[in-house]
Chains A and B, each alone.
Chain A
């Protein structure tokens, strides 16, 4: 069943004239999918993310989350509980001074009794592997840990889907790996639908589906192997192709007999050494 469905969605920011930040978006995302969203700066990725959990509402067309229309303000709280959002800058989304207090923020807003909040906070922290840091000061954590706490804060609201707006952009490789592992695990083990916006192509390879946005429109949509074979289109948008995919293209052009959908080092080594 489609958990996110957009039909003819368009959005204009106020004060930006006739420019469409999003235009003609028709999109259906099923429960349990792991969707990576790529696109150059200003392509509308963040705007799309904010449409999903009703932080922005359509100028035209419709966005439904779990069947609830974001156009109706009465739905907003239910939508935001179902579609949790994690932002790019870990420092600007942590509300409380200690880890557990911050994770509790969402459930507190939803008005659960203390015992239920406690259960959810502990559960969420253990899912992201941060239980040991429960009482730590949030500002002293590393970037990767902060993002894990932010994810826990969203998970504690028991959402159906997780929308992440470049959560790894400001992290070092270790932090990025930590966050990616958590996201993949939540998708696999907890069957949470994931919408992951990123500039890192290797991260997109972990997804089950890749969307590429340009100037407010969806220009490519498919599984990562299909999308990353579109070298020319991606290049024209200023996006990278995973280095291995690029190498495979070059090798094929030089007459080597390789399948076009080799994307990772291990796959290529296996093919070259067989």
Chain B
């Protein structure tokens, strides 16, 4: 077990008229090598939750354990935690600041105190991981790149720290369909080929259903549903109540079921849906 949250709650600005309880009694384990997606609307507590995963926030009540050791205010431990757990915020292109791409990606590794040589190797490796050609972009100003490229540079900045776990908050937000597909595929590859533990935060079921291994659905600071995508989509009613749209193909299966057809619910892609329907129609005829 990599991370372990035990009954954590978090309250913003306690004791003021602006007091808000953002998380209520959350218990969550994150295992080495898994691909977990956290789903919820804005304001459901997603952002607050992920900041507990790398020690940017400490719970008001409850405990966080990293490798079985409790995380507390101890600064050294927190720094160590942030090195092992990379967090890419929403619209990460807004955090770029260096004169050129290489220097920006090197910011994290440099803070780790690595040698220049090691940093150079890591920068190139990280840029390649996000699908950028190091020799093309290394010396360019990050501000001269397209939005999608800037976002990938920011992602490289986290990957260059070689974390055990990478958390991505809405990595595809605001991109056009092609940019979105590209970045989500990169994340898939990190998980599949590089055995990276991934936590993806999203409000789109469509984006995560076929990618993540496990989903948790947050609403009002609480975990409402958890399990494999197929498990979670069994509770279509809850998802609809929370205003979270089912993936189109899953919705199709659900509607076919209510029309009396026997179809499985773990269908998220067009290809899978096609197979099911062909079988169904074939079955009808025979």
Contacts and interface: CB of A to CB of B under 8 A. Distances in A.
Is any CB of A less than 8 Å from a CB of B in the complex?
yes
A269 B203 contact: no
B204 interface: yes
B256 A273 contact: yes
B272 to A, nearest CB: 10
Contact of B146 (A41, A243, A254, A266): A41
A268 B203 contact: no
**Residue among A169, A174, A175, A254 with most chain B CB within 10 A:** A174
B173 A170 contact: yes
A143 B42 CA distance: 8
B244 A240 contact: no
Nearest to A171: B42
Contacts of A174: 41-42, 243
Contact of A173 (B41, B248, B260, B278): B41
A238 B284 CA distance: 37
A199 B146 CA distance: 17
A223 B260 CA distance: 33
Interface string A228-270: 0000000000111011101100110010100000000110110
A250 B178 CA distance: 21
Contacts of A172: 41-42, 203
Contact of A265 (B174, B204, B252): B252
B273 interface: yes
A272 interface: yes
B243 A243 contact: no
A243 B271 CA distance: 10
B31 interface: no
B259 interface: yes
Nearest to A239: B177
A30 interface: no
A208 B251 CA distance: 24
Nearest to B251: A265
Interface string A183-201: 0000000000000000100
Interface in B237-260: 243-245, 247-249, 251-252, 255-256, 259-260
A272 B277 contact: yes
B19 to A, nearest CB: 14
A40 interface: yes
B13 interface: no
B256 A242 contact: no
Contacts of B280: 272
Contacts of B175: 41, 199
B178 A273 contact: no
Contacts of A171: 42
A36 to B, nearest CB: 14
**Residue among B176, B178, B179 with most chain A CB within 10 A:** B176
Contact of A269 (B177, B243, B259, B271): B259
Contacts of A139: none
14 contacts: A40-B177, A172-B42, A243-B248, A243-B249, A243-B270, A247-B270, A247-B274, A256-B277, A256-B281, A265-B248, A269-B252, A272-B256, A272-B280, A272-B281
User: 5 closest pairs, A vs B, by CB?
Assistant: A238-B178, A174-B243, A243-B248, A172-B203, A240-B177
Interface of B: 41-43, 146-148, 173-179, 203-204, 243-245, 247-249, 251-252, 255-256, 259-261, 270-271, 273-274, 277-278, 280-281
